[in-house]
Every structure is written in structure tokens, then in C-alpha cells.
Amino acid sequence: MISFLGSNLRSNRGGLRGFTLIEVVVSMGILALLAASVYAIVGSSITAARVAMDQQLVLRRVDAFLRVTRDAFLNLPAEGTVSYDVGKVGGGQAEQRITLRKAKNLFGDPSLGGGSLVLAARPQSDGTRTITMLSIPLNAQPLDLAHALESPGTPLLPGVTKPHWSFFANGDWTEECPEGTPRPLLVRLQCELKDLPDPIEAIFYVPPLVAQKTNATTAPPTPTSSTNPTTPTGG
């Protein structure tokens, strides 16, 4: 009886078999590959979500900038003017500037009071530009004007590249709008943003000046004459 039990135990021990070293190594390799693929999928998903969130943030910022800029042109007073020039900032870099003169309460700035508001494409250290709002008080002296143009201002739209302003006047687009010329009917901004794949083009309408009242002795227009000029489209 004892010998039978002993032989049965020996036979059971002989039937137990563990994994070989090669099988263990192969299994660990398969697990490592699975873990790497899962990590890559999760990492790419996180990256894509981060990029999408960044683009959404940029789009919101662009929408807010375009909205307040459009309102500024629309609310420009009848005596207000629009001009464009290229100035110099620290280091001699060029800075495009749109100046709205005789502005009042534009961009939510009640302190203008008939002064000037400047939209400057300020160069940054990373090669991009930030469209910045500068406020110039009414009747500013040359020293005050220089100080205002060199001030940090209020950043409105960062990450801008290749900004380009153009103006629609006298039936055609032009890149010049010096001080003293009649204000244009349309102002166009074309630029790129480093976080967006597609360029941006925005056209802002500038209300025309109200025609002065004619003298009482002036003959009224004939019924066949056109008193409403055609408004061009900003194609």
C-alpha cells in the first residue's frame, strides 16, 4: 500500500511542467508590444485633443478680435479718419499701424475722448507678431506720441504672421492710406496664425461720411439722375 502511494506521487510530480525560458521571453515581448501600441494610441489621442483645444482657443480669440475691430470701424465718428503707415520699433523692425483718429469709446476704451487709436502689428521674439491696441490722447505732443507708440499697449491677437492691410477706395483696392486722404469704404486684413492651418481674411466696412447739406440755391437733381452710388462688394 505504501509503495503504491509513493509511485503515484512520483507520477504526479513528473506530470507537472513549467514554462521554458524562451516561452517566458516571448510572452514578455508580446506584452511589451501590446503596451507600446496602447501607449502610442493613447498618446496620439491626447496630442490630437490638445491640438484641437488649442485651435478652438485661437478661433475664439480671432472671433473676438474681428468682432471688436468690426465694431470699431462701424462706430467710427463722422469726423473720424483712417490711415495706414509703417513705423519702426526697437531694433529697427518695421511695424504696420492702422490709426483711427478722432475716435471715441472704441474697443471699450472710454478714455479716448477724440484721441487716436492705433492697431499695431508688434514684432515678437519668436518671429510672429501681436496685433496690439495703442491709445494716443487728444492733442498729444511729439514726446507723448512717441511714448504712446512705444508703450506695451493692449495685446489683442498674438501669433500673427504675414499681416497685410489693404483699402478699398475709388473703386479699387490699394495698399496705401496715408494721413489726410478720405477714409476708405472697406478695410481688409489678411494674415496667418501659427496655430491655424488656413489663412485669415477679414473685410471691415467703414461707414461713408454724410454728405454736407446742399445750399438752398442749389438745384435739386433731376429724376433721372442716380443719387445712390453702388456699394462695391468686398470680393
The pLDDT assigned to 136 comes to 85
**What is the per-residue pLDDT across 88-137, written as a single tens digit (0 to 9) for each?**
887 788 999 999 988 776 766 655 667 888 999 999 999 999 999 998 88
Q: What is the distance between the alpha carbons of residues 94 and 49, in angstroms, rounded to a whole number?
A: 37
210 pLDDT band, cuts 50/70/90, is: low
| Residue/partner pairs of 153-156 with CB below 8 Å, 24 or more apart | 153/118, 153/120, 153/122, 154/107, 155/130, 155/131, 156/65, 156/68, 156/119, 156/130, 156/131, 156/132
Does residue 46 surpass a pLDDT of 60? yes
26 pLDDT tier (thresholds 50, 70, 90): confident
pLDDT at 235 over 50: no
The pLDDT value recorded for residue 99 is 92
Residue 233 neighbours by CB under 8 Å, 6+ apart: none
Averaged over 184-202, what is the pLDDT? 92
For residue 222, the model assigns a pLDDT of: 44
Backbone phi and psi for residue 136, each to the nearest 5 degrees, phi listed first: -120, 120
Cell numbers for 52, please give them: 484641437
Q: What is the pLDDT of residue 157?
A: 93
Q: How confident is the model at residue 234 (pLDDT cuts 50, 70, 90)?
A: very low
pLDDT bracket for residue 211 (50, 70, 90): low
Examine the pLDDT at 63 and tell me if it is beyond 80: yes
Please write the tens of the pLDDT for every residue from 160-188: 999 999 999 989 999 999 998 999 999 99
Those residues whose C-beta lies under 8 Å from the C-beta of residue 15, and which sit 6 or more positions away, are none
Q: How far is CA 130 from CA 124, 194, 198, in A?
A: 7, 12, 18
pLDDT at 216 over 50: no
Q: What mean pLDDT comes out for the span 211-223?
A: 43
Q: Where are the alpha helices (DSSP H) in 151-228?
A: none
User: Phi and psi dihedrals of 225, rounded to 5?
Assistant: -80, 150
Please give the pLDDT value at position 43.
78
Please tell me which residue, 217 or 64, carries the higher pLDDT value.
Answer: 64
What pLDDT is recorded for position 219?
A: 45
End-to-end Cα distance, the chain: 106
